[in-house]
A and B are shown apart, each in its own frame.
Chain A
Amino acid sequence: MASAVHISQVSKSFGAVKALRNISFEVNEGELFGFVGPDGAGKTTLFRILTTLLIPDSGEAKVLGMDVIEDYKKIRPQLGYMPGRFSLYQDLSVEENMKFFASVFGTTIEQNYELVKPIYHMLEPFKNRLAGQLSGGMKQKLALSCALIHKPKLLLLDEPTTGVDAVSRKEFWEMLRMLKEEGITIVVSTPYMDEAKLCDRVALIDKSEILQIDSPGNLTKAFTKALYGIKHPDKYRLINVLKDYEFADSVHPFGEFIHYTDRRGSIDESGLNEYLDSKGLTEANIQSIEPDIEDLFMSLMQPEELHV
């Protein structure tokens, strides 16, 4: 399979701040590739390099087979881009925004209507409303429509779902799936770990470095420790009691459970139960569970350290 993005040993600094350190990855044509990591991990810098808006300090970056420095003029028209803080023109209506971006990309809404139709038709009832008056989810649909209007080969979406509610996020990922079926290569970033499993392949990124790249299925396999989910109504005490346990390795609240790993590897659940009983946490529910990508991420990432 041909590669849509080829990044090798790319670094970028802003003054003394290292935004990216020796980043390497490939995105195959037709793939839905995700970057998952918290704010400040370097996602936006990476997207700006991919969109040819920033020049890397070192390393090689090729997009659609072309060099981001020399061939930027040829690359740009083939990209669909949604920057993180992209907010469209608030004082233009939905339709005017669409028309504007169509004209900027030298096309018309009608020309590529088939591609944007499934997304844009949800907006059509509001086409005369100003973009500034749309909800987060609708704005995001409009921004996606605008990025697609010229039928780009590669879609680059920088944190499209940040600050958007769970329903809109789910719908958005359904749209991305559909666009992938149309053959468009998509690179998307998100701070929400649970969205990682919706990608074909995922790069976990933290503090300017890629922690791991793989398919969601393989990623969780990389988490080799035995993981236990423990449940008790008094969650706060459960956390503290588990942290005090002499064999405790990691203790993380995870939805209704506390995710627990033990320094001894796999454990005899009754021993732990006895300990919890002795601390007055009777009837705690302990079960062996499958790890999540978030479990892996937490095991790989270094805690945020402060540098003097």
Chain B
Amino acid sequence: MNAFMGFVVKEFKQIYRDTRTLVVLFGMPIIMLTLFGFAIRNEVSNAKIGVLDLSKDEVTRELIQKLSVSKAFELNAYLDNYDQIEEVFKQGEIKEVVVFENNFANKLVKEGKADVQVITDATDPNLANIVQSYTGAIIRDYVQEINDNGVAVKAGIQPSVQMMYNPELKSVNLFVPGLIAVILMLISALMTSISITREKEMGNMEILLVSPLKPHYIIIGKVIPYLLLSVVNVITILVLAKFIFNVPFNGSYGFFFFESILFIVTALALGVFISSVAQNQQTAMMASLAGLLLPTVLLSGFIFPVESMPLPLQVVSNIIPAKWFLIIVRSIMLKGSGLLFLWKETLILAFIALAFIALSLKKFKVRLQ
């Protein structure tokens, strides 16, 4: 046990002395969260829109008013006819034109139905989508309002979509769980695999193997410091998310840390596995980045929803630990769910963790090749 403690102490000293590693370890979460939190947002603010109001009645006026006060939009052009639409799109400033049909208010009251045409510049499809759904939401809101106020007879349109749990559609709320996954994967898997292959490259692994230190102690000794550092990182991200970005946290912290540690252990096992295959630090780094980080970013649902992937990728995504971790963390943070609702995902994640631990223990050699 003494030997083991000596090992962990040495590991901490080395991490502590390696300034570059330290910068990566603690700088990365902060930089990434800031990047995703401020720069890379899915929500839209101040998108320039135009209006073509063929009706010019009180309802359309009120709707236009609603659109123009929304933070998402900046009403920039009042058009007179259809021909102008293409013209404003070509100029490039205007991203969306809302067209109210003739006799809008009358139709709404009499027929319970009126047509709004929403035309968007889809050269940026993402933006177009978001702008369109915002507009839809504002109009539905309005319709509900007039229904509730009994101003009009109960109109045929019932607002069917409601943004729950993340009513402002704030993307940072969704990114934080994803970021936690990415950062944990990076630190736990990448750092462990690099630090174990470094021992190999320097020839120190030969000595350690020949020493009475049991091989699994070498692994655990390598892994424990990164486990602790990862937990510190989770806390850092949570604090930043809560106090700077006002991301809600509705669930239990204990449960959240339990799931985080489960995910960290999976990532560490993957790191150990990579290091047992890779002969040098570069290979370990490439393997970790291409083999772990990319799937974590691309296939976990962090950026692209799993549901919209082609079927084969959806199947593959099931073995990506980050996918399950994301589902769990999003649920805990935004919905406040507990084990009762998340036992299935937790079980899957635990199973993946065990599988990778078994695999990496089996792959770890007591001899050289």
Q: Are A81 and B212 in contact (CB under 8 A)?
A: no
Q: Are A54 and B368 in contact (CB under 8 A)?
A: yes
Contact of A52 among B13, B207, B210, B213 (CB under 8 A): B210
Closest chain B residue to A79, Cβ basis: B210
Q: Are A87 and B6 in contact (CB under 8 A)?
A: no
Q: Are B204 and A104 in contact (CB under 8 A)?
A: no
Hey, which chain B residues are within 8 Å of A58, CB to CB? Answer: none
A-B pair number, CB within 8 angstroms: 86
- In the complex, how many angstroms separate the beta carbon of B111 from the nearest chain A beta carbon? 78
Closest chain A residue to B365, Cβ basis: A53
Interface check B367, CB cutoff 8 A: yes
Q: Are A53 and B206 in contact (CB under 8 A)?
A: yes
Q: Are A52 and B367 in contact (CB under 8 A)?
A: yes
Interface check B123, CB cutoff 8 A: no
A54–B365 alpha-carbon span in the complex (Å): 11
With contacts A52-B367, A96-B13, A103-B3 taken as known, whether A84 is within 8 angstroms of B209 at the C-beta atoms is no
The count of chain B contact residues (Cβ–Cβ below 8 Å) is 25
Q: Are A86 and B204 in contact (CB under 8 A)?
A: yes
Q: Are A72 and B366 in contact (CB under 8 A)?
A: yes
With contacts A77-B211, A105-B212 taken as known, whether A87 is within 8 angstroms of B203 at the C-beta atoms is yes
With contacts A55-B367, A100-B10, A103-B6 taken as known, whether A85 is within 8 angstroms of B210 at the C-beta atoms is no
Closest chain A residue to B208, Cβ basis: A104
Hey, which chain B residues are within 8 Å of A290, CB to CB? Answer: none
Q: Are B13 and A53 in contact (CB under 8 A)?
A: no
Interface check A127, CB cutoff 8 A: no
The digit string for A187-202, where 1 denotes a CB below 8 A from any CB of B, is: 0000000000000000
Contact of A105 among B3, B13, B209, B366 (CB under 8 A): B3
A15–B70 alpha-carbon span in the complex (Å): 70
Which residues of A, 78-103, contact B by the 8 Å Cβ criterion?
Answer: 79, 81, 83-92, 96, 99-103
Hey, which chain A residues are within 8 Å of B211, CB to CB? Answer: 76-77, 101, 104-105
Hey, which chain A residues are within 8 Å of B366, CB to CB? Answer: 72
Hey, which chain B residues are within 8 Å of A147, CB to CB? Answer: 207
The digit string for B6-26, where 1 denotes a CB below 8 A from any CB of A, is: 110010011001100000000
- In the complex, how many angstroms separate the beta carbon of A72 from the nearest chain B beta carbon? 7
Interface check B163, CB cutoff 8 A: no
Contact of B212 among A54, A77, A85, A146 (CB under 8 A): A77
Q: Which label, helix, strand, loop or mixed, suits the secondary structure of the B interface?
A: helix
Q: Are A91 and B18 in contact (CB under 8 A)?
A: yes
With contacts A52-B367, A54-B368 taken as known, whether A104 is within 8 angstroms of B213 at the C-beta atoms is yes
Q: Are B207 and A86 in contact (CB under 8 A)?
A: yes
Q: Are B203 and A85 in contact (CB under 8 A)?
A: yes
- In the complex, how many angstroms separate the beta carbon of B308 from the nearest chain A beta carbon? 46
Q: Are B368 and A53 in contact (CB under 8 A)?
A: yes
Q: Are B367 and A76 in contact (CB under 8 A)?
A: no
Interface check A48, CB cutoff 8 A: yes
A99–B6 alpha-carbon span in the complex (Å): 8
A241–B13 alpha-carbon span in the complex (Å): 63
Hey, which chain B residues are within 8 Å of A90, CB to CB? Answer: 202
A147–B203 alpha-carbon span in the complex (Å): 13
Hey, which chain A residues are within 8 Å of B17, CB to CB? Answer: 91-92
Interface residues on A, range: 20 to 34
With contacts A96-B10, A100-B10 taken as known, whether A84 is within 8 angstroms of B203 at the C-beta atoms is yes
- In the complex, how many angstroms separate the beta carbon of B276 from the nearest chain A beta carbon? 15
Q: Are A104 and B203 in contact (CB under 8 A)?
A: no
Closest chain B residue to A102, Cβ basis: B6
With contacts A91-B18, A104-B213 taken as known, whether A86 is within 8 angstroms of B206 at the C-beta atoms is yes
Which among A72, A101, A147 has the greatest number of chain B C-beta atoms within 10 A?
Answer: A101
The digit string for B176-204, where 1 denotes a CB below 8 A from any CB of A, is: 00000000000000000000000000111
Interface check B5, CB cutoff 8 A: yes
Q: Are A104 and B13 in contact (CB under 8 A)?
A: no
Q: Are A101 and B13 in contact (CB under 8 A)?
A: no
Which residues of B, 204-229, contact A by the 8 Å Cβ criterion?
Answer: 204, 206-213
Contact of A100 among B6, B203, B210, B368 (CB under 8 A): B6
The digit string for A277-299, where 1 denotes a CB below 8 A from any CB of B, is: 00000000000000000000000
Q: Are B203 and A53 in contact (CB under 8 A)?
A: no
Interface check B162, CB cutoff 8 A: no
Closest chain B residue to A88, Cβ basis: B204
Which residues of A, 126-145, contact B by the 8 Å Cβ criterion?
Answer: none
Q: Are A103 and B5 in contact (CB under 8 A)?
A: yes
Interface check A11, CB cutoff 8 A: no
Q: Are A106 and B368 in contact (CB under 8 A)?
A: no
A53–B204 alpha-carbon span in the complex (Å): 13
Contact of A51 among B14, B202, B210 (CB under 8 A): B210
Hey, which chain B residues are within 8 Å of A53, CB to CB? Answer: 206, 209-210, 367-368
Interface check B149, CB cutoff 8 A: no
With contacts A87-B203, A99-B6 taken as known, whether A76 is within 8 angstroms of B14 at the C-beta atoms is no
Q: Are A103 and B7 in contact (CB under 8 A)?
A: yes
A105–B4 alpha-carbon span in the complex (Å): 10
A79–B13 alpha-carbon span in the complex (Å): 27
Which among B207, B366, B369 has the greatest number of chain A C-beta atoms within 10 A?
Answer: B207
Which among A76, A77, A87, A104 has the greatest number of chain B C-beta atoms within 10 A?
Answer: A104
Q: Are A92 and B367 in contact (CB under 8 A)?
A: no
Q: Are A106 and B212 in contact (CB under 8 A)?
A: yes
Q: Are A81 and B210 in contact (CB under 8 A)?
A: yes
Closest chain B residue to A152, Cβ basis: B210
Q: Which 4 A-B pairs have the closest CB atoms?
A: A103-B6, A77-B212, A86-B203, A85-B203
Q: List 10 A-B contacts (CB under 8 A).
A: A54-B369, A76-B212, A77-B211, A83-B207, A87-B204, A89-B202, A91-B18, A101-B207, A104-B212, A147-B207
Q: Apart from A86-B204, A99-B6, A105-B211, what 16 extra A-B contacts exist at CB < 8 Å?
A: A53-B368, A72-B367, A77-B212, A81-B210, A88-B202, A91-B13, A91-B17, A92-B10, A92-B13, A92-B14, A92-B17, A100-B10, A103-B6, A104-B3, A146-B207, A147-B207
